[in-house]
Every structure is written in C-alpha cells, then in structure tokens.
C-alpha cells in the first residue's frame, strides 16, 4: 500500500476518455470491477485515512457506480475533516 511507503497523495489514472470506445461488454466489465473494488475497500480506505477524489465526469459512469463514488467521497470527507 502506498501509505506504507510514505506516499501521502497518489493519483490513479483509471479510465480515460478513449476507453469508452471499447466494446460495451468490456466497458461494463470494467465498471463492475471498479464498483466491486470500491464496495469491498471503502471501509478500509476510510479507516486507513485514504481520501477518494474522483477526477472527471462522474455523470458518464453507470448511475450506481457514480452514486457510490459520490457517497464514498462524502463519507471520507466526514471522517477526515
């Protein structure tokens, strides 16, 4: 984990605009993978002091994933501030 290495800020470039041109099946699989990871790691991230900031247009994400991102950001802001 980045925190173990003393890294305080880590930017992850996860899904570029060009990725939307992939097949619908591939995009859907990637979105499901991101959602599964975020759901499984959200509590651990908060407990570890990790703050999630989603950079980009959340409105382009599937509705449930977008809401999960917003809720995760808000939960972490409440805990960390």
Answer yes or no: is 15 within a domain. Answer: no
28, pLDDT greater than 80: yes
Q: Is residue 29 in a domain?
A: yes
For the chain, the domain total comes to 1
pTM of the model: 0.74
pLDDT value at residue 21: 95
| 7 alpha-carbon distance from chain centroid | 18
Structural domain boundaries enclosing 61: 20-80
Per-residue pLDDT reduced to its tens digit, 31-76: 999 899 888 888 887 787 777 788 888 898 999 898 888 888 877 6
* Residue 69 backbone phi and psi in degrees, to 5: -65, -45
Chain centre to alpha carbon of residue 81 = 19
Q: Report the distance separating Cα 60 and Cα 51, nearest Å.
A: 22
């Amino acid at each position: 984990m980045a925190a173990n290495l003393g890294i305080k800020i880590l930017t992850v470039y996860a899904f570029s605009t060009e990725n939307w041109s992939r097949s619908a099946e591939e995009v859907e699989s990637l979105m499901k993978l991101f959602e599964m990871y975020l759901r499984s790691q959200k509590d651990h991230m908060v407990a570890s002091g990790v703050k999630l900031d989603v950079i980009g247009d959340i409105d382009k994400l599937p509705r449930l994933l977008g809401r999960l991102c917003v809720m995760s950001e808000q939960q972490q802001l409440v805990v960390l501030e």
